[in-house]
Structure 1
Amino acid sequence: MTEEDILSEFRAADALLEGHFMLSSGRHSAHYLQCARVLMSPERAAKLALALVQKMPRELRQQIDMVVSPAMGGLIIGHEVGRALNKDAIFLERPDGIFHLRRGFQIEQGQKILMVEDVVTTGLSSREAIEAVKNAGGDVLAEVALVDRSAGSVDLGVPFYSLLEMNFPSYNDDEIPPELAAVELTKPGSRK
């Protein structure tokens, strides 16, 4: 899939939003990619997951034992990437603000893990999820995401592949431009 094909999928699902958004990273933006909308179609989710898997080097794909994704945003795409790789897909949750494996999920010592996210902006959630997997005994080989909002600047400590690099500006609380501050703030993400 080309970048334009991917953007077309987001547009077709009304998943590219404009307004004033609080991102999960805590930053503000005039644009929000609602991946849950683009992934609500099983056919579209499967197509995007397959395209994401194809972005990874073949040698990497062959090494992966399991797919792990952080809840909430990574659940659907993580499951679909697991399906595309024919590997189990589990997820991490934050019941107390820190990522944990729950629901009887386990990672065996040394198991080769692919981390899957929907959107990466600052990489904070990804780095926290990678650390949780390491603490559980896993070896994170790489991370993939539908969208890299850092435009290629994020460092996760592992190889990182995305379908789409977006460079929509985002702002700290003290940097919000007046025209954005004048728009009502919404927080569409899953983190409190």
Structure 2
Amino acid sequence: MRRLLLERLAARAYRHGSFTLASGRTSPHYVNCKPVSLSGEGLALLGALLLELVEAQAAAVAGLTLGADPLVSAVAMRSALDGRALEALIVRKQAKGHGTGAWLEGPLPAAGSTITVLEDVVTTGGSSLQAVHQLRDAGYQVNRVVAIVDRQEGGLEAMTAAGLELRSLFQLEEVAACRAAMAESAR
């Protein structure tokens, strides 16, 4: 399953060129996991593989909208199919402007519960840390961030500084190498 997901990411999510990232930095690598994470096959693969990295004691998975929305849903569904109770939470980028003004959407576990944060791509770790801060402020324990791809551009260091463990399915170099190999074999 891991190899199949890597091939899907290399073919559908990775591009080589000149790109400006959300951090403002430029990079020859661009990774947008949504063409994979919003496909049925991609969701099935991601649900199974990400679930393997979720903490055993976690009551929920959560992530910052929009990149994490399909991930938390896929993992919660896969966990239900496996007979494990695991809720899915979406962390808003800003508080809801009406009603309760909530930052979190979904079935909230008991205060103090452990929640694993899911992320599609980690660069500097800013999006993941925003989700972690909202969850911690709401009274939850967050010890781990699980990503599809770590771009290896400071995210690990930022997570470590925040007392978090970063686990990734792939490093950027793996995805780039797979894409290069696919291009070479197509010649």
When normalised by structure 1's length, the TM-score is 0.72
User: Are 1:72 and 2:66 an aligned pair?
Assistant: yes
Taking CA–CA contacts closer than 8 Å with sequence separation of 6 or more, which of the two structures ends up with the larger relative contact order? 1
Pick which of 20-29 and 63-72 moved more: 20-29
- Residue 89 of structure 1 and its aligned partner are, at CA, apart by 0.5
Per-residue CA distance 1:34-88 (angstroms, 9 max, x = gap): 11111121122221221122245xxx32x01011110111111121122222311
CA, structure 1 residues 102+65, in 2 after alignment: closer, same or farther (shift >3 Å)?
closer
CA–CA distance in structure 2, aligned partners of residues 25 and 42 of structure 1: 30
CA–CA distance in structure 1, aligned partners of residues 87 and 145 of structure 2: 16
SS where residue 10 of structure 2 aligns?
Answer: helix
Q: Residue in 2 aligned with 1:88?
A: 87
- Structure 2 residue identity aligned to 1:71: T
| RMSD (CA atoms) | 2.5
From 22, 25, 35, the equivalent of 1:37 is 35
- Structure 1 residue identity aligned to 2:79: L
Is the 1:78–1:117 contact (alpha carbons within 8 Å) kept by the matching residues of 2? no
More helix by share: 2
CA, structure 1 residues 19+163, in 2 after alignment: closer, same or farther (shift >3 Å)?
same
Q: Residue in 2 aligned with 1:19?
A: 17
CA–CA distance in structure 2, aligned partners of residues 24 and 151 of structure 1: 13
CA, structure 1 residues 25+85, in 2 after alignment: closer, same or farther (shift >3 Å)?
farther
CA–CA distance in structure 1, aligned partners of residues 149 and 106 of structure 2: 29
- State how 1:52-131 maps to structure 2 within 5 Å: 52-55=50-53, 60-61=55-56, 63-86=57-80, 87-95=86-94, 101-103=103-105, 106=108, 108-131=110-133
Is the 1:65–1:113 contact (alpha carbons within 8 Å) kept by the matching residues of 2? yes
CA–CA distance in structure 1, aligned partners of residues 152 and 4 of structure 2: 20
SS where residue 154 of structure 1 aligns?
Answer: helix
SS where residue 139 of structure 1 aligns?
Answer: coil
In structure 1, stretches of 5+ residues that fail to align are 169-192
CA–CA distance in structure 2, aligned partners of residues 37 and 134 of structure 1: 30
- State how 1:161-172 maps to structure 2 within 5 Å: 161-167=167-173
When normalised by structure 2's length, the TM-score is 0.74
- Residue 105 of structure 1 and its aligned partner are, at CA, apart by 6.0
Is the 1:67–1:88 contact (alpha carbons within 8 Å) kept by the matching residues of 2? yes
